[in-house]
Structure 1
Amino acid sequence: MTRHTRVVVIGGGQAGLAAGYHLRRRGLDFVILDAQARAGGAWQHAWDSLHLFSPAAFSSLPGRLMPHQPGETYPDAAHVVEYLRDYEQRYELPLHRPVRVRGVHRNAEHLRVETDSGTWRADAVVSATGTWWRPFLPAVPGHAVFRGRQAHTVRYRGPEEFAGQRVVVVGGGNSGAQIAADLAPHTRLTWVTRHPPRYLADEIDGRALFDAATARRRALDAGTGDTGGVASLGDIVTVPPVREARDAGLLKARPMFTRLTPDSVQWADGTRTEADAVIWCTGFRPALSHLAPLGLRGPRGHIPTYGTRAADEPRLHLLGYGDWTGPASATLIGVGRPARDAAREIAELLGT
């Protein structure tokens, strides 16, 4: 069965909902195809103690402020899931789930979106699948011989399943610091980072990060030089659990090891630390396999874009994958502006 619509949005997380909000304001006919069975995007799969970097009022999608979570300055993941569920219902966004997109194909007249429940023909497509579904694991020697448990951030839920164990957490970003802080009181923790941890000043949260990312994008667009953006401020936002663990002396990072052995991690000088588990907080890559039939991939797996629009396919927009698709577009507060720009360009392309 083939169905027709003006715009197909692929992904029903925060980026897809922001796109839907602005497409609705433009009066465009569209659908949102979400592979998840329930509302909430990747947030419904996050670890239990995960909190936002910003207060609720500064973590909102366009048109609807996130309500305050009682007792919390920084809302937790469950609060975000509830907010996203309310958001899609409030704006009556046309979500279809669970629908998994297998591939996007093109011809002169339209883009064809093949799914596990049929085909859609569209005049434009917004890809908003994010990165959570493509966890990155570095190629470390000995990875296959280690007998303990190995898990990426996406599989971590809480410290209970690691209580009393020797756990190595790898990663010097926010996920690594938050999970290390979560585990420190309950395990024999070893925290490993490629570079010494760079904490942002305690008073800085997601509001400042969004401003820094926006200023960098404007400077680059104006040709006035690279301000460094968020990276110039540091790598780790000191949310309360991280700050408390750091100040208690529980977050002492060691440099990256060079290999795994069957029962330990080992450094270049031969020293070893025995380990029952290794948690890889090593980031993600864009989840873009559904766009492979278009043949648009560029360096580092990215698709070259002008703003959110694919450079070699004007009917395709990419939203929410990081700064290369809009300043801070992978954040709740940051995705609204590029979503608005994408909807405007689509409306102009379709002559509406």
Structure 2
Amino acid sequence: MTQHTEVAVIGGGQAGLAAGYHLRRQGLDFVILDADAAPGGAWQHLWDSLHLFSPAEHSSLPGRLMPAQPGQTYPGARHVVDYLTDYEKRYDLPVRHGTRVEAVRRDGSRLVVEADTGIWRAKAVISATGSWSRPFLPAAPGRPVFTGRQLHTVNYRRPADFAGQRVVVVGGGNSGAQIAADLALDEHVEVTWVTQHPPRFLPDDIDGRALFDVATARRRALDTGSSDTGGVASLGDIVAVPPVRAARDAGLLTAKPMFARLTADGARWDGGSHTTVDAVVWCTGFRPALSHLAPLNLRGPRGHMLTDGTRARGEPRLHLLGYGDWTGPASATLIGVGRPARDAAREIAHLLRS
């Protein structure tokens, strides 16, 4: 079955919902196609102990403040899912859950969105699929021969799943530090945290509020031709959320250098030392989930899709939202996605009415 709409939004997580809010304010007809069976985006798949970097009032989508979570300064992932579910209902956003988009193609004046439930013909498309569905695993020496359990951040849930085991956590970013801390604070798990470079903790008084301001200031500097401030990366890599701080201050979160290779039963470091390992958790990041856009042939150098703001170069009817700073300052965050979503909706409205 083929259906028609002015705008098709691909992805019903925080970026897709923010897009829907602003498209409605522009008076446009739109649909949001989301692969997940339930609301909440990637937040419904995150590990049990995960909390936001910022208080609720600084973690909101446009139009509605996130309510505080009782007893928590930094809300947990389940609270975010409840907030996104309520947001979707409150604004009566037309989200088609359980609809996986497979391809977007050109067909004259329309973009054809091919999904597993049918076809949508749209005048414009906003891709807001994020990166959670595309975890990155490095080609580490010995990874194929390791006989223990290997999993990525996307598969981690709780320390109880590793009771009595020796676990290596790989990765020097926020996910690596938080999962290593989660395991280290459990007396039933023996954890080794390894990083490619020495971990850089941000000052304890910096949370998501400050990070958003720093990212925004950097984008403004770049847009006006001023010197690059370095943004968030100039401050550090790891936000010292309470569990990370607790593990660090207890001496449980000291990183070792990256191992040289995995063996059948563990990890070996330069110099010959060897540790027996039951499981490896790869906290090695993600790549943007953009395979559905491949038929448009918009990849630039090194496979990167070039944009002006959120608008794709080479296809003015396509906007990319929520993939990181290259589609708007802090656009992969709850508080940061509102502004680029507003700009994308305005540009699309202007394009369709001109």
Q: Give the TM-score range, shorter chain.
A: over 0.9
Distance 2:246 2:299 in 1: 43
Distance apart, 1:140 and its partner CA = 0.5
Normalization by structure 2: what TM-score?
Answer: 0.98
User: For residues 1-352 of structure 1, what are the structure 2 equivalents within 5 Å?
Assistant: 1-186=1-186, 187-351=189-353
Contact kept, 8 Å, 1:132 with 1:154, in 2: the verdict is yes
Distance 1:13 1:326 in 2: 16
Distance 1:279 1:204 in 2: 27
Distance apart, 1:260 and its partner CA = 0.4
Normalization by structure 1: what TM-score?
Answer: 0.99
Contact kept, 8 Å, 1:286 with 1:301, in 2: the verdict is no
Structure 1, residues 68-114: CA drift from partner, whole Å, max 9, x if none?
00000000000000000000100000111110101000032110001
Distance apart, 1:300 and its partner CA = 4.3
Contact kept, 8 Å, 1:148 with 1:277, in 2: the verdict is yes
Distance 1:204 1:300 in 2: 34
Percent of aligned pairs with the same residue? 76
Distance 1:173 1:151 in 2: 17
Distance 1:290 1:24 in 2: 25
SS at match of 2:334: coil
Distance 1:299 1:90 in 2: 42
SS at match of 1:313: coil
Contact kept, 8 Å, 1:167 with 1:277, in 2: the verdict is yes
Structure 1, residues 124-177: CA drift from partner, whole Å, max 9, x if none?
000000000000001001111001000000000000010121100000110000
Distance 2:96 2:350 in 1: 26
Letter of the structure 1 residue corresponding to residue 160 of structure 2: E
Distance 1:205 1:126 in 2: 29
Contact kept, 8 Å, 1:216 with 1:227, in 2: the verdict is yes
Letter of the structure 2 residue corresponding to residue 194 of structure 1: Q
Distance apart, 1:299 and its partner CA = 3.4
Distance 2:156 2:138 in 1: 17
Distance 1:164 1:184 in 2: 12
Distance 1:302 1:14 in 2: 23
Contact kept, 8 Å, 1:132 with 1:284, in 2: the verdict is yes
SS at match of 1:314: coil
Distance 2:302 2:174 in 1: 22
Contact kept, 8 Å, 1:197 with 1:253, in 2: the verdict is yes
Distance apart, 1:258 and its partner CA = 1.6
Contact kept, 8 Å, 1:259 with 1:266, in 2: the verdict is yes
**Which structure 2 residue ranges, 5 or more long, are not aligned?**
none
Letter of the structure 2 residue corresponding to residue 195 of structure 1: H
CA 1:235–1:269 in 2, change beyond 3 Å: closer, same or farther?
same
SS at match of 2:316: strand
Q: RMSD of the TM alignment (CA)?
A: 0.8
Q: Which runs of 4+ in 1 moved over 6 A?
A: none
Distance apart, 1:185 and its partner CA = 2.9
Letter of the structure 2 residue corresponding to residue 189 of structure 1: V
How many residues end up aligned between the 2 structures?
352
